[in-house]
Amino acid sequence: MKTAINPTRAENFPEWYQQVIAAADMAENSAVRGCMIIKPHGYGIWELIQRELDNRIKEEGVQNAYFPLLIPLSYMSKEAEHVDGFAKECAVVTHHRLEEDKENGGLKPAGELTEPYIIRPTSETIIGESFSKWINSYRDLPYKINQWANVMRWEMRPRLFLRTSEFLWQEGHNVLATAEASNKDARRHLDVYYDLFENVLAMPGICGEKTDDERFPGAIHTYTVESMMQDGKALQASTSHDLGQTFSKSANIQFQDEQGEMQLAHTTSWGLSTRVIGGVIMMHGDDDGLRLPPKIAPQQIVIIPMIKKDADPKVVMDACHDLAAKLKAKNIRVFVDEKDIKTSDKIWGWVKKGAPVRVTIGGREAENNQVEYALRTSNDKQNSTPDEFVANIDGYLTDIHDTLYNEAKAFLDNNIHDAETIFDLINFFRKKTNIGFVRMPIALLNDPKFEETCKEFSLTPRCMPFSDNGDMVIVGKSY
């Protein structure tokens, strides 16, 4: 069978992934090492994810703010464990001017800084510094801040969306009065992410806690949603950290409690990045390209006029714009594609871009008050009157969301394999055609064979699922 994307998922999953991004015109590599250009179709998806998450974050009483891009080098020395986790991969600003290079031509750096800055890889240190000034009393708590920002971690093996030197994200930073409150807060923000995953991205996943070795540098608990891609590998697109008093100690975030005593605060941080778009592609895409959950589709309905020689173009275009106006009135994101290219190229273009519903209207349809439509999740052509189509559209979109979710959920459930011993784990991954996660008793983490098994098969403990009350651990390959 001919597919729009070559190779297919089965033939070469990593290459299929790159080809989907190119075919859907979502992003591309730039001349800047490891940095991507997010093109309008990719960025449109990000904007919708942002809006959905931002609304949810604000419902939690979080306020948006903005902190500097640059962090003084000395801040990074304050928190030793955190530095170990990040220091190796920072972009370092050492000069603040350019001047003519008289020897070699062109320009050269000038104005050396007395203290270098790094471009933020994450902002705990610089935001902590502000918190120490802003927070004085128990009345100020909980204090909840989020920023939408670009961050940078130098990447030696970049991959579009999944691993790029610069990426976009939100990073939330909350300050709480007690250990209990900060743990509850970190868990709450994971729930907020999971709500986004399920109800917006149609992405099932496993919620749980990271094992000791996999925690964020400086965290006492790291909570995660682990998603399973169609090649059986895990993708972690959001995490929520209970930082305990690690950063409040190094930044000295104190408050006066109700008894007038000074107390060290507790903090959390929680983030979701453009990486999640890679997850959407690898969870929902098929061999014809992207399939977008309707809530993040920049164009939920694409209307394609088919003007053949025998038809009156005006009648066709009027029918298209009439339908678009009715859909817009229902707050549907609709796009009439009037571009001057071949109709079949246009249709395949929107298949590859993952538009949830495609409508075609030609001369015959326009005259007979009909539309032809296809859902991206079935591709069967159907007919109805425009009014019926408008009346049913919410149902179609819900249906597409549910289909994507249910397919992915079935795939996830079918690819979690129980193991009782390290030998079960080894036997599973030894067979190269086996994919997915292995779920095994937590005690096996301490088995002397566990580490070497992980090395041999490139495995990591993904999480200890909440649903197993911390008794089990999920192990798998990952992005």
Binding residues (CB under 8 A) for a copy of itself: these are 30-32, 35-40, 43-44, 46-47, 63-77, 83, 87-99, 106-109, 111, 116-119, 126, 129-130, 139, 145, 149-150, 152, 154, 166, 168, 339-341
Q: Which of 14/68 has CB closer to a copy of itself?
A: 68
Q: Which of 30/392 has CB closer to a copy of itself?
A: 30
Contact 189, 243 (CB under 8 A): no
- Rounded Cα distance between 45 and 161, Å, is 12
Q: Which of 37/179 has CB closer to a copy of itself?
A: 37
CB of 351 to a copy of itself, least distance (A): 20
CB of 372 to a copy of itself, least distance (A): 26
CB of 49 to a copy of itself, least distance (A): 13
CB of 147 to a copy of itself, least distance (A): 8
319: how many CB neighbours lie within 10 A of its CB?
22
CB of 358 to a copy of itself, least distance (A): 20
Buried b (16+ CB within 10 A) or exposed e, 426-435: bebbeeeeeb
Q: Which of 7/116 has CB closer to a copy of itself?
A: 116
Q: Which of 130/370 has CB closer to a copy of itself?
A: 130
**Alpha helix positions (H), 119-225:** 124-134, 179-199
CA-wise closest residue to 277 among 6, 27, 54, 477: 27
Beta bridge partners of 268: 174, 242
Q: Which of 138/411 has CB closer to a copy of itself?
A: 138
CA-wise closest residue to 376 among 394, 403, 343: 403
CB of 139 to a copy of itself, least distance (A): 6
- Rounded Cα distance between 300 and 339, Å, is 18
Strands (DSSP E) contained in 314-388 are 334-336, 357-362, 371-375, 382-384
First vs last Cα of the chain: how many Å apart?
29
Residues 6+ apart with CB under 8 A from 381: 372, 373, 374
- Rounded Cα distance between 265 and 248, Å, is 6
CB of 213 to a copy of itself, least distance (A): 22
Q: Collapsing DSSP states into helix, strand and coil, what is residue 14? A: helix
CB of 354 to a copy of itself, least distance (A): 17
Continuous segment of H or E residues that includes residue 48: helix 40-59
Torsion angle defined by CA atoms of residues 342, 348, 353 and 355, in that order, rounded to the nearest 10 degrees: 100
Q: Which of 37/325 has CB closer to a copy of itself?
A: 37
CB of 41 to a copy of itself, least distance (A): 9
Q: Which of 187/321 has CB closer to a copy of itself?
A: 321
Q: Which of 233/353 has CB closer to a copy of itself?
A: 353
379 dihedral zone (left: phi>0; alpha: psi -120 to 50; beta):
left
**Distances from the Cα of 302 to the Cα of 112, 270, 353, 370, 389, angstroms:** 53, 36, 11, 16, 13
CB of 95 to a copy of itself, least distance (A): 4
Full DSSP string of 333-352: -EEE---SS-HHHHHHHHHH
CB of 325 to a copy of itself, least distance (A): 15
Contact 152, 119 (CB under 8 A): yes
Q: Which of 109/470 has CB closer to a copy of itself?
A: 109
CB of 263 to a copy of itself, least distance (A): 18
**Alpha helix positions (H), 158-272:** 179-199, 246-251
Q: Dihedrals φ, ψ of 4, to 5°?
A: -75, -25
Q: Which of 89/402 has CB closer to a copy of itself?
A: 89
